[in-house]
Structure 1
């Protein structure tokens, strides 16, 4: 007697349905990636991008770090609340659950015009720690493939903190895109004075942050 094996359409169907439940639970998570396999990786990977160019610290501390400190509207499955990226439970360095990206809420701007603030001194500051951590979420020169831009918009990647920016027209997204797409010239470090041209007028002390 010949036995007929079940067709491939029956194989593995039930386990596939059960997998939907834990995925849905992940979407309901609060800020961050603690325990979320689809969240940020456990280690910071500061990619040098394709060219190895550095992002501007000058622009970061005046134009980007304030985004992390600001009180922003959060949409998690239609539930609206307000918090900051640096808030406890999100990306706060001490109590955050937001994976590898960490922010020191108390970081203050470093006076780069002060000769005492050498590169070594600046790199030991809280502001630089925020700068370093943020770089782990970007690919210099490529904002479209950088998690720091895509995760808060929930573009092709889950974000435990929900939808922060509705679209790329949000002023904060514009700032992030500009910073990432304008690395320092090849061979120059993150403190390059070329970063001054990212302000109008070209002076970080008095100029406004360019976005285009």
Structure 2
């Protein structure tokens, strides 16, 4: 998520200079965000299957208000401040962080505007961010979701290193809350009832983000 692009290049240079095996080099490249059969490449699109057997979704309104800001706010790691959406990390244009991509300047979508139908919202940059984050999540199972496992470095490599020190981090608790509460079956990601229930008071426009 949040790291300097030079860290990846430095790691590659060290591995090459020591005559590391091809498999080791590929592992380093993968940790820096490469995907697919080519460790130097990134997936051109996000593979984002429907949520489980029930085809459920996560809440868009909770993502927009409570999760997206976590990815664009400065985070200090190794003495340097950066964001997950930075160009050398998960930025949509030049990021090297694999399939998880973010449009840093994605504008808020006014869901109270009748003109913002689901079809319209799905064309926005904010929805692209939502879609990518959802694609890195195992709906209903935060503990197995890469969106959390990677920044916590839990049995998986992350080019950006440790971003959240532990599961009590307020950011982790929000992400866990979001992934753990898919919208009920039969409702889409814009469900008003499901979205409002994730805030206190239960109002997505004015309530505070729940995290437990």
With normalisation by structure 1, the TM-score equals 0.81
How does 1:90-169 map onto structure 2 within 5 Å? 90-169=89-168
Runs of 4+ deviating beyond 3 Å? 18-21, 34-43
Give the greater-gyration-radius structure (CA).
Answer: 1
**Partners of 2:180 and 2:44 in 1: CA distance:** 26
Q: Does 1:61 align with 2:60?
A: no
Cα 1:23–1:157 change in 2 (3 A) is farther
Structure 1 residues 129-176: Cα deviation after superposition (integer angstroms, max 9, x where no partner):
101111110011110110001000110110011110011111111010
**Partners of 1:117 and 1:149 in 2: CA distance:** 30
**Partners of 2:207 and 2:23 in 1: CA distance:** 50
Alpha-carbon RMSD across the aligned residues, in angstroms, is: 2.6
User: How far off is 1:47 after superposition?
Assistant: 3.2
Q: Which runs of 5+ in 1 are unaligned?
A: 1-17
Cα 1:207–1:88 change in 2 (3 A) is same
Structure 1 residues 173-212: Cα deviation after superposition (integer angstroms, max 9, x where no partner):
1010000011111110000012111000111111000001
With normalisation by structure 2, the TM-score equals 0.81
Aligned length: 190
Would the aligned equivalents of 2:90 and 2:96 in 1 still touch at CA under 8 Å? yes
Would the aligned equivalents of 1:90 and 1:96 in 2 still touch at CA under 8 Å? yes
